[in-house]
Every structure is written in structure tokens, then in C-alpha cells.
A and B are shown apart, each in its own frame.
Chain A
């Protein structure tokens, strides 16, 4: 959707002074997180522009979905022993 060299002007509205502007949300995260967000949005519908390794420019409407998806993804990959297990084994619950 965006060429490597610059912005796709169709996505931007032209401001008073002839500048192309667009409102959105800047997502700052680590590298794997960014890949996860990209993975969650294969059609690039929410991601307006892929800025660099740790930054994405996304649509404001998608933010809540992204937050929710990240949460559930992270929860899925956490091992939390039941308290009984924890007490018996003496292992930390992560």
C-alpha cells in the first residue's frame, strides 16, 4: 500500500497549506511485537504505514482490537500453575 520511497497520497487529505496529513495512531513497541501486530492484520487494513522496526502507523479505530488481540496472545503464552501446583512444587508461577 505504500511505496518504499514515500507516502501514498491517496490516503492523505490535503491540508490548507497544501500539505498531506492524516490522523492516526503511532504504535511504539519492540520488534517481535510489531511482527505480531502485522501478523494479526494480514490484509494491512489497520496498518496505514509500516514506519520502521519498532514503529507502526495504524488506524485509530483498530487500536482497541489490537490491544485485545495482544492481550489474548500474551495470555495464551504464559504458564500459570494453579495455586495447588505452585504450593506443591515450590516453582514460581509465571
Chain B
């Protein structure tokens, strides 16, 4: 079994440094063949035999990818959609005004990275029916053509067209009246109200978080073995050093990847691991994140773990994001790998199933919003206003990790924080960056102090994380008012405290004395090094250079010219 290559970044500057932030970032790193497969290379022999053409998963993938593009890139795709032969690069370039050329470059880069836009230069490599069709229309087949052509990836084009033109009812063909009639055994059970699913999801996910902080509280059963495995493997929970000796017993059972597949057998033993594992800094950081980011972290972990079936997992995710919450979907439409995946998703509350052998499953809101939800949330926070959310369950449109009726925070201008909550999980979360002064049955009062914030920052939490956490959980009374979610002074102060920590920067560098170089030579050397992005500091007057150590060997190219005047170039960050 694959050992995860995943190493948590305990002192990470940003949480994103340790893993890809969204599914689309991940797509950009995939090999070309993988992307082609996602776009429908194996359309005919596709995953599940029961798949009717209308239930093909690829249009969903293409549609999701299309939605993630920048507006300009979308524009390009739409223009090229009906042009199998594509256009010349020069023609594409002429679509934008020269002053927006950087935007054009970015769009083309993005399309190229996602392998949507193919350049005729590398066309010879991949030849299949679609490409041939495009190839015939080309002039001069080969040498002497004025400018290479751009065209859309054939599979992508076909499936995006399908997604846009067909009246696709829903992933896996659900919702097509025709199909339901044709297969009476697939008669669907009634839809579930989405609030019910949301409560279910909240309970599940809160169970995970409770386990993470080790809060003992009734009503939250221990999470499944996968969950523990995930938390341990990502370094969010670890065995404290003093207990290292006893670790063997608790850890071994979780070690083999095989255990991931069998849940039931392990359910009885969960008591053991719990004693040994404690939350780490990475875990604390994770705790304060938005639910979509948390779930994505889990999914990214699953993808990294099961590299062999990565494509199928991704396809499944894209389809999920076009599902309707509360609607049943047939399990048999999934491939065996995806069915195995279903179990994992159930243990995290992404998906609901009546019982394990039920023929249908219900995606919850988190699963549906997994791909696009996170970005929406971020954007809203950036704009600085939260959603007005009424207390009543019916009015809540969007999922919230911790039920807002449970955690509602008011931050006062004197740095006093009042949190209405009865859950010890919330108290644990607040304790990370506040001095909790007293706890009453339904209220927690604390202070945000320099010491408490610095303590949080020392464990790798950024000001942004704290602020977004506070903003996400602001009390309804504050939300409905016209004022800011947080007092301006508190917000600014937390950021100042953060900056205080980075007031002095240390970088390990190599200083090179270039004082004997001529002025022109020195400039040449400096330009060369700047192009390699290895210069930290350079000064002609001082005649020295600091260069990043990693790239040192490249100096040979200019080092011959003699001895330097001065400058400083840097090494990897300290």
C-alpha cells in the first residue's frame, strides 16, 4: 500500500503551502494523459456498464473545469467551441487589445495547464480521430506554416458541447423521466429534506472535530477509523513525545492501508487510539478553517492516498457538485472504486445513506459545494460582509460547519469576546487565541490579548485565519446591523500583532565579493543572478552579492569573467 508522502507543514507560513488549495490547482499538476482521461478519452469503455450515454460523467467534468476558468479563458473556450480546426495563435492574440496582453498570456497559460488549449506544435504526439479531423484542415501540414494553431482539446470540446447543449437532467442520468420508467426497479425513494441532511452532516463533522480536540462530550460518537487515520497521517494529531513508548499498540492497527477499507471491524477499538493522540499545531490550524477547506483537505488526502484511482475520484467529485441536495442517486451507477469511496465520504458526513446496503445515496450540501463552495466563501469574507442568517433552520441557505445557533461571537472594541455556545468544542476553538475568563452554561467570556494571539501565532496560525474564523461566526445581531463584523481596532490590532512577528526576516545566504569587477561586469552578473531569482541584496558600492544557495552551481557561467565588485545574494529562506 502506498504510504502517504504527505508531510504536514508545522511551521508553515500559510496553510496552503502544504497542499493544493483547490481541486483545480490539483488538475493543473496532473499529467496530460490523466487530464485527457478526465475529459473523456475513454468515453466508450467508461467506468460503469450501466451508464447510458446521457449519464456519461465527462460532460460534468468539463463543465466544472469550464466554470473554474477566468472570464477571458472562458471567452476563448466559447469562441473555439465550434471551431474544430482552431485558429492561428496570431489570430487568438488579436482578440485582445495589446495593453491587456498579460491577461491574454495568463488565460492561455491556464488553458494550457489544464490541457484545454492545444497548440499545433505538439499535435503530432497525440493523434486520435478527433485530432485527425482537425488536422486535415490545416495548411501545409508541417513545415512552413506561418504560426502554430490553437485548438481545443477534442474530448473537452465534445463533452463541453454535450454539457451545454443536452438537457442533462443530473449526474448519473437521475431525473430523466424516461429512464425511471424504463427501469422500474430503480424507482427512487423520496427526496430527503435538505435541513435533515444538514443536521446529519453537522453532527458527523462536529464528531470529527470533537475527536480532534479531544473534547469529551456526550452525543458525539467516536468517528470511524478512516477519520482517525486521516487525522494522524496529516499530522493534525500526533502522539505526544512522552507517550511515544506506548504508541505501538494504538498505532499499528491504523498503519496498514488495508485498514482503510474495513470500517466495521475496527469500530469497537476506537477507545485506544484516542488516549494516545493529541492535537498538533497543524490540527489547530485546521480547526479554525472554513468547513469547505477542511473537507477539501480530507478529499485531497484521499486523492493522494489512492493515486491509482485518482481520475475516478475526481470524476466522482465533479459529478457530485452538480447533484441536488436531498435527492437520491443510485449507487449502482458508480464504479466499484467510487463505491468504496462512498464509504469514506459517509464517515465524514459528505454523503448520507439509509443503511450500508441501500441502493441509493444522498449527497449533502458540503459534498455539493466542495468544489465551488470554498471559493465562494473566501470571496464573501474578502468583501467583508457575511450573510444575514436567521436563527431558524429553514432560512439557512448554506451550510455552516458549526451550527450558528451554537456558536455566536461578539467581539467588543475593548477586546472582550462574548461567545454564545454550550459546546466544549467551541470553547476549545476559542481558547486557541483568546484568554477565556469564564464559562457559563451558554456563554463564554474571554479577552483577545497580545499574549493569547501571539501564542496562537507561534503555533502557526495566521491573523487571517483568526479573523476569518471570527467573521464566520459572528453573532446574528451583529450581522444584521450595519456595522462591521469586527471592531476595526481589534481587526487592525490582530494584524499588527501578526506583523510584529515578521518584523525581522532572516535568510540564509551566501555572500559573494564582487568588488573587483568593473561596473558593467557587475551589472551583468547582477542581471544574470536576478534572472535566476537568486539575488537577495546587491550593491555596487559595497561590491558584494548574496545568492540563494540552492542555485549556486549556476554561477559558473559568469564566474569566469573575474573577480567581483560586490553584492549579496540569498539562500533558501531561514
Contact = CB atoms under 8 A, between A and B. Distances in A.
The answer on A and B forming one complex is yes
Where chain A touches its partner, the secondary structure class is mixed
B503 A30 contact: yes
A53 B435 CA distance: 38
Given A26-B568, A28-B504, A80-B450, 8 more contacts: A5-B543, A7-B542, A9-B513, A20-B512, A20-B513, A49-B511, A51-B537, A87-B447
Interface of B: 413-416, 435, 437, 447, 449-451, 489-490, 493, 500, 503-515, 536-537, 539, 541-544, 546, 549, 555-556, 559-560, 562-566, 568, 570-571, 574
Interface of A: 5-7, 9, 12, 17-30, 33, 37, 48-49, 51-52, 55, 57, 60, 63, 66-67, 70, 74, 78, 80, 83, 86-87, 90-94
B515 A5 contact: yes
Given A51-B542, A86-B414, A90-B414, A29 B508 contact: no
15 contacts: A7-B513, A12-B511, A17-B556, A19-B512, A21-B512, A21-B513, A24-B509, A26-B537, A28-B505, A29-B503, A30-B503, A33-B504, A49-B511, A49-B542, A80-B451
A77 B543 CA distance: 37
Contacts of A60: 508
A57 to B, nearest CB: 6
B511 A21 contact: yes
Contacts of B513: 6-7, 9, 12, 19-22
Contacts of A87: 414, 416, 437, 447
A23 B510 contact: yes
A18, A20, A48, A70: residue with the most chain B Cβ atoms closer than 10 Å: A20
Contacts of A7: 511, 513, 515, 542-544, 566
B542 A17 contact: no
A94 B450 contact: yes
A7, A23, A33, A60: residue with the most chain B Cβ atoms closer than 10 Å: A7
A86 B447 contact: yes
B554 to A, nearest CB: 12
A3 B505 CA distance: 25
B297 to A, nearest CB: 31
A51 B538 CA distance: 9
Contact of A26 (B451, B493, B536, B563): B536
B435 A83 contact: yes
A63 B493 CA distance: 27
B506 A63 contact: yes
B568 A27 contact: no
A28 B507 contact: yes
